Chain A
Amino acid sequence: MSFSTFVTDKAGLQKLFEAIISKHETYAPVEKFGKYDYKKVSSLKECDPDSPIAMTMSVKPLFFPRSSKIMKYESNSAGTSVSETEDDHLAVPRVILGVKHCDARGLQVLEAVNKWDYIDSDFLKRRADTVIFSSRCDKADTHCFCTSLDYDVENLDAMDVALVNGSGGKIYVQARSEKGENFLKESLDQQSAVGSQQPAMDDIKKQYEAFAASFRLKMDYKDVNEKMSKRFNSPAFEEASRNCVSCNTCAFICPTCHCFKISDVKIKDTGVRYKSYDSCNNVYFTLEAGGHNPRPAKYRRWRQRSMHKFVFYKERFGVNLCVGCGHCAISCPVNISIFDVVNHVASSPLES
């Protein structure tokens, strides 16, 4: 299926956003203390769909919440009862504006683990009910390396509607999925500020090349995949992880980390069971009740984290579990970057 591209300018785009916000449940980056997080908005003034990438949280919690209730339970003399919790407020038709390309790709990557064997229908339904509008990324930030990880102008399928800056102040509004196409056509009917449909691939490609040239960080991930798969026992993991304070921030803000734990909170005879984020960097993550821990040392946990992202997930699901957003490096209190870790390991000497 080929999708439509419309041309507009900044004012036209704002009108389009305003129309969307007035008609649909809309989420967009909202600033607080200099950081942006995706929040429900009721006017364009509250938010900034062009929020700077380095300052914006991942959109992941809107699909995989930091903590969600699995069930409630109650015990009394009559016995025990278990009940599912209230309706899922995230699975209503909604639009999210200003989603970074890397972040949208994160959702695409996460789909693999959520739909193999047992299906996480909550995650898939939230994604199916959401129309994602991309941000207009046109310049790489310090820690960005998405172009090294399969993101390119031909591969924008992770968003439903891609926004691309063109030459001379033009902005292309391009549907990238059937859902996006239908949504655009519906929205544009009552909205004249967005111009007619135009073929624009040449212009988009030119802009993309300039964007790709702005990257400080570049890697050949296929080379990294191959080299890392041979370096499970490399001492480089120890060197690369030495400064880590095991705070787990990298995993919590990562668009693709998806490990979770199940825990109970009990008050007298009633309680709630939660599913919440966890991380393989957590020393208790694999600790068994009998005291045995397969990953007792920090470097082993870092090896799991980086090998999972660049070797294991790829082996299992055919795609890297990293989208090159650089958020782990931005948020890390001791400046560890997954980019540096995997490159350090990949370039370490091969044991004989």
Chain B
Amino acid sequence: MEALLVPSLAKVDRIIQETPDVRTYRLKFKDEVLMEKFTWEPGQFVEFSLLGSGECTFCISSSATRKGYFDCSIKKAGVVTADIHLNIEEGDEVGIRGPYGNWFPVEEIKGRNLLFVGGGIGLAPLRSLIQYCIDNRADYKDFTILYGARTSADLCYKEEIEEWKKNPNLKVVLTIDKPEETWKENVGVVPKILEEVVKPEIVNTKVITCGPPIMIKYTLQSLDRLGFAPKDVITTLEMKMQCGLGKCGRCNIGSTYICKDGPVFTYEQLKALPDEF
């Protein structure tokens, strides 16, 4: 067991300041053979350690279709993430274990319209799937991304979103909670924009959503009102995890291990779980 818990070292190749409190760390394993072999599915996560500070769970926010690196987007929230923001510089080495967990059902959603609904840092796991789907564009039909944040400064991946907007195959809808002088796009919370602006096609559409708990709560209600079946709504759960191996007991909800059976669940599956998340 202890051997399973020993991380491999990765070099921080680049740090991108996404928002005042979110940074994306672009990582490459020190061992080139390992980097070449390392692959993951969209939605999987790694255990990221800043040695001496601790180990945290982050989803991989880039897609394995883009080779040679992987991204973790980290929001300053707790003790270890604050240490990460404060202490890690480009060129530093961190510990990585993984990939762990299940992933978005990339096969099952083939041939469907995809509607991504993200809020704040919740775009990170969706970004992995969005990149994957862009790189396999022929497999999927209409493609809509609805992304919101509290303020325009809190929108992650700004450069990449500009690229998405230029892509004629993608529809990108952005929103912020309150009006700002220079902001020309939508204003209003994500569920409101979903119902009033996006007005999605329901037939043959899969919704993939992730965001802060309060946004998820109201987005699920909106999707219900719009007529989406719970099995067509997919989300990824955030739980405190530690081992990622289905052993340490931290992420149990009922008899489900979120780190092994999740973190990706359909709304239908979530409804069957005890209310402990």
Q: Give the B-binding residues of A (Cβ under 8 A).
A: 68-71, 73, 75, 79-82, 84-85, 88, 113-114, 116-118, 120-123, 232, 258-264, 266, 271, 273, 275, 278, 280, 285-292, 294-295, 300, 304, 307-308, 311-313, 315-316
Contact = CB atoms under 8 A, between A and B. Distances in A.
B81 A289 contact: yes
A275 B2 CA distance: 8
A335 B245 CA distance: 34
Contacts of B254: 307, 312, 315
A73 B1 contact: no
A286 B239 contact: yes
Contacts of B253: 294
B7 A82 contact: yes
Given A118-B245, A260-B248, A289-B81, A271 B52 contact: yes
B255 interface: yes
Given A290-B78, A292-B213, A264 B52 contact: yes
Nearest to B7: A82
Interface string B231-248: 000000011101101111
B276 A289 contact: no
A85 B248 CA distance: 20
Contact of B246 (A84, A116, A311, A313): A116
B80 to A, nearest CB: 7
Interface string B49-72: 101111110000000000000000
B51 A117 contact: no
17 contacts: A70-B2, A73-B52, A81-B9, A116-B246, A120-B1, A121-B1, A259-B248, A261-B248, A262-B5, A264-B52, A264-B55, A266-B51, A288-B78, A288-B238, A289-B77, A290-B77, A295-B276
Contact of A79 (B1, B3, B4, B93): B93
Contact of A73 (B51, B213, B239): B51
Contacts of B213: 292
Interface of B: 1-9, 49, 51-56, 77-81, 93, 95, 213, 238-240, 242-243, 245-250, 252-255, 260, 274, 276-277
A123 B80 CA distance: 29
Contacts of A70: 2, 5-6
Contact of A262 (B8, B55, B93, B252): B55
A316 B249 CA distance: 13
Contacts of B238: 288
A204 to B, nearest CB: 36
A349 B249 CA distance: 29
A280 B249 contact: yes
Contacts of A261: 242, 248, 250
Nearest to A116: B246
Nearest to A290: B77
Contact of B2 (A68, A259, A285, A313): A68
Nearest to B76: A289
Contacts of B8: 82
A117 B78 contact: no
Given A120-B1, A290-B78, A232 B274 contact: yes
Given A80-B93, A292-B213, A117 B246 contact: yes
A129 B237 CA distance: 40
Nearest to B81: A289
Given A82-B7, A286-B240, A122 B2 contact: yes
Contacts of A308: 249, 252
Nearest to A121: B1
B239 A294 contact: yes
A115 to B, nearest CB: 10
Contacts of B54: 262-264
B277 A117 contact: no
A39 B224 CA distance: 61
A123 B5 CA distance: 14
Contacts of B274: 232
Contacts of A278: 248-250
Contacts of B5: 70-71, 262, 273, 275
Given A258-B247, A280-B249, 19 more contacts: A71-B5, A82-B95, A84-B2, A84-B3, A88-B2, A117-B246, A118-B245, A121-B3, A259-B250, A262-B5, A262-B248, A264-B51, A264-B53, A266-B52, A278-B249, A286-B239, A286-B240, A289-B81, A315-B255
